[in-house]
Structure formats: structure tokens, C-alpha cells
Amino acid sequence: MTLRLENIEAGYGGIAALRGVSIEVRAGEIVAILGANGAGKSTTLKVISGLVRPSGGAVYLEDRRIDRLRPYETARLGLVHCPEGRRLFANMTVLENLEMGAYQRGDKAGVKRDIEKMTGLFDVLGSRRAQLAGTLSGGEQQMLALARALMARPKVLLLDEPSLGLAPMLIEQIFATIAQIRREGVTILLVEQNAHMALEVADRGYVLETGHVAVTGDADELRNHPAVIEAYLGGA
């Protein structure tokens, strides 16, 4: 087991956001978290990465408890968070953003090789190394955010709404890249409102409703679950 949440309780200013959430992500999997706005999806990732301290329950990474660690400490353990909204350094170049992704690494030669790898994986970034990140298109910014996260060489990658605001063609490209990243051995916990695309690449999934797990199963089960079809897949 790579990542495990046990009965997580968390909130903001006394308002409960998560209520008894338990999630498991095994090594090499893509696990999707689905749900409407306000269901607690992003809060779940923030609890895992240390941005939100849970009021109850525990988080384990490879059987080590991590829910009392600071975000930079969880990152050192190989858990990397690619947040909703990209959160790039807008006034820094594409290259500088990639270098920031590797700021905790000390292997200069390896960092250089990984920059070349990222600009190969995301072709558009290679020709824009000197361009300010804030001037990129939305799709280019999402690619850079994902590449920056990969520069940390994650064991577990937390992806929050990677398709948000993107055109359909770019969404397909992003999800094809997510599938490729998994093939290279990275475990992925994916928060995504585009249930169709998420369940295409995921092995398993969890559906959150008002802060608790309402439905869980493998991707095929969720695609055929009446409640999931009605709420998230456009069924009647």
C-alpha cells in the first residue's frame, strides 16, 4: 500500500469539509476522486500534502504516518501536489518554473536531464523556455504545472483538476500524458470533475458527497453505477 487515509476529519473555521474519509491508493495505480463542487475533493489532497491539518484520523505514506508533517517534509518523501489553478510563478520563465520543481534535489546533472525529458514530453515547453509562465495559454500553463511537479520525481502525484478550463483537444492530451506518467511508475491520485476522462484512465475511484465517501469501486463499476451515471456521466 502506497497511500492510505483513515477516517479523516477536516474543516475550515469550524465548518466540516471531510467527515470520516478513508481512501487507499496502491503502488502503480491511478485512483480518481469524483464529486461536485464543495464535496471535499481538493481538501482531501490538501490534507494529504500537509496544507490542511486534519482534526481526526490519519494519513500514511508507505506505512509512515504523515498527517503531522509540513508540506515540504511530505514532498521530500516523494509526495508531490499539483494544485488546482496551476499556481505557477507567473513572472518567472518556463525554465525557471521547471527548476523550481526540483528545488529540493541536489543532483544537478539529473535535474538537467529531467528538464530535457519534460520539454520532450511536453513539446510546446521546449520552444518556450525563456517565456514568462504568466504569458502562456491555459493549456500550456497546465502542461508546465504538471511538468514542474514531475521535476520533483514523485512517488505519488496528487493532481487537482488538471482539465479545468481547457478545450476538449487539450483535455485529451493532458489525460494521455497522465496515462503515460503512470506507465513510467508514478502512482497518481486524481481529483477531476470530468468523470468520463477520469474513469478512462483510472483503475479505481471514490465519489465524495458533502465530505464523505458515498460510492467506491473500480472504474468499470463506477461507469455503470446508476447514481454515478445520473450525477456525473450525463445519464437520466
pLDDT tens for each residue of 31-47: 999 998 888 999 999 99
Pick from 65-69, 108-112, 161-165 the range whose average pLDDT is largest.
65-69
For the chain, the straight-line distance linking the first and the last C-alpha, in angstroms and rounded, comes to: 37
In which residue ranges of the chain is CATH 3.40.50.300 found?
1-78+154-236
- pLDDT given at position 53: 94
CA 36 to chain centre: 17
Correct CATH for 1-78+154-236 of 3.30.428.10, 3.40.50.300, 3.40.50.1860, 3.30.300.30: 3.40.50.300
- The 8-class DSSP code of residue 101 comes to H
- pLDDT given at position 236: 38
- pLDDT given at position 107: 86
Would you say 167 and 100 are in contact if contact means Cβ atoms under 8 Å apart? no
- pLDDT given at position 213: 95
Split at pLDDT 50, 70, 90, the class of 209 is very high
